[in-house]
A = this chain, B = another copy of it.
Amino acid sequence: MKQNLYDQQLQEHWNRIEQALPEYLPTGKDSLSAAMRYACEAGGKRIRPVLTLEFCRLCGGDPAAALPFACAVEMLHSYSLVHDDLPCMDDSLLRRGKPSAHAAFGEAAALLAGDALLTAAFETIAGAEMEPAFVAGASLTLARAAGAGGMVGGQMLDLESEGKAIDLDTLEELQRGKTGALLTAACQLGCLAAGVTDVRLEAAARFGSELGLSFQMVDDILDITSDRETLGKPTGSDQANEKATYVTLLGVEETRRRAASHTEEAEAALRTFGEEAKTLCRLAQALLQRER
C-alpha cells in the first residue's frame, strides 16, 4: 500500500523509520518487550512519522535528526491501538489482519505494553540529541496532543457516544481529538526537529488538522462502501454499525465533498513552503483517493 501512497522522497522516510523504530524498543525475550515490538511491527503506513520527517525536511532540517521524534509519534500511535483493542474498549481480536496485542499476549501484557510504549515515546523524545528547548517543546506538544485534551479525550468522547445520537459538532470534536491531534503533533514535531517555531509551525499544524478530518471522512466512507480488511477499526464488530460516523450523519456524497474540501484546506496551508510542498500535496490527494 505504501507504494501507492508514497513517492520516492516519502518512501525514503518510510524506510528510515522501519530501520530506526526497532532500535528504540527493548530487545529482551520477555513478554513485555515482545508485546511492545509486536505492537510496532512493520507493515503499517507509518503516516504520522513520515509526516514528521517530511516537515523536518521542508523546514530545511535533516530528516535523520527528526527520527527520535518520528519514532516517538509512532510508538504513541501504537500504544493507542493496543489499548483501544482491549476488551473494555473496542474488544477487538484483530488488528491489521493479525491478532491484536491482547489476543496474542494476554490482556495484562497488552495493557502494560501499551503503558510502556507511551512511556517510551517520551523517553525517546527526551533522549534526542538536540537543543534541549526543542526537546522540551516536542515533549509538551506531543503530551498535549495525546492526553485528556487531545487523543485520550477523543477516545473517551467516542466511548460515551456509543449507541447515542450525536450531532456533527460532537463528531468533529471527537475526531479532532481521537485522530486529528496526533496527526497535527506529528507535523509540528517535524518543524521542531528542524528548530523551526515560526509561522511554518502553525502551517504544519493546520495541515495536520485538516488532513486528519479528511482522513477520517474517507475512512468512514470506505467502512461502508468497500469490503476491505478494516485498518484501525474493530473487525467483525457490530459497533461500527451502531456508531455515528460522517456517513451516517451526512451521507456518502456530502462526506466525500467535505473530505475533498478539507484536503484542499490542507494543501492551502502548505503554501508557505512553496514548491517543495508538492510531495505532501500528492500524499494528501492519494489519501483522499485511497480505496482501502
Check if A229 is an interface residue, CB within 8 A of chain B: no
On whether the beta carbons of B132 and A32 are closer than 8 Å, the reply is no
**A152, B119: Cβ atoms under 8 Å?**
yes
Contact between A119 and B116, CB atoms less than 8 A apart: no
| A155: interface (CB < 8 Å) | yes
Chain A interface category by residue count: 35 or more
- Min CB gap A134→B, angstroms: 8
Identical copies in the complex: 2
How many Å from the CB of A75 to the closest CB on chain B?
A: 11
- Stretch with Cβ within 8 A of B (4 or more), from A52-60, A121-129, A256-264: A121-129
A125 CB to nearest B CB, Å: 7
A126 vs B114: C-alpha distance when bound (angstroms): 21
A147 to B139, CA, bound (A): 16
Choose among B107, B120, B126, B143 the residue that contacts A88 (Cβ–Cβ < 8 A). B107
Output the least CB separation between A146 and chain B (Å).
5
Contact pattern, A 97-110, Cβ under 8 Å of B = 1, otherwise 0: 00000000011110
Q: Is the CB of A123 within 8 A of B140?
A: yes
CB <8 Å contact, A112 and B32: no
Q: In the docked arrangement, what's the CA distance between A235 and B134, Å? A: 45
Cβ contacts under 8 Å, A205 to chain B: none
B135 pairs with A111, CB closer than 8 A: no
> Which residues of chain A (2-58) have a CB below 8 Å from chain B?
26, 30-33, 36
Specify which chain B residues have a CB less than 8 angstroms from the CB of A107 in the assembled complex: 88
A201 lies within 8 A of chain B by Cβ: no
Chain A residues close to B by CB (< 8 Å): 26, 30-33, 36, 79, 83, 86, 88-89, 106-109, 111-112, 114-116, 118-120, 122-123, 125-127, 131-133, 135-137, 139-140, 143-144, 146-149, 152-153, 155-156, 159-160
User: A112-B159, A119-B146 given. 16 additional CB < 8 A pairs?
Assistant: A26-B148, A32-B148, A33-B148, A36-B148, A83-B115, A86-B111, A108-B159, A115-B115, A116-B147, A116-B153, A119-B152, A120-B143, A122-B143, A125-B139, A132-B133, A139-B139
The 10 A-B pairs of least Cβ separation, nearest first, read: A123-B143, A126-B140, A119-B147, A132-B132, A88-B107, A126-B139, A32-B156, A116-B148, A132-B133, A122-B122
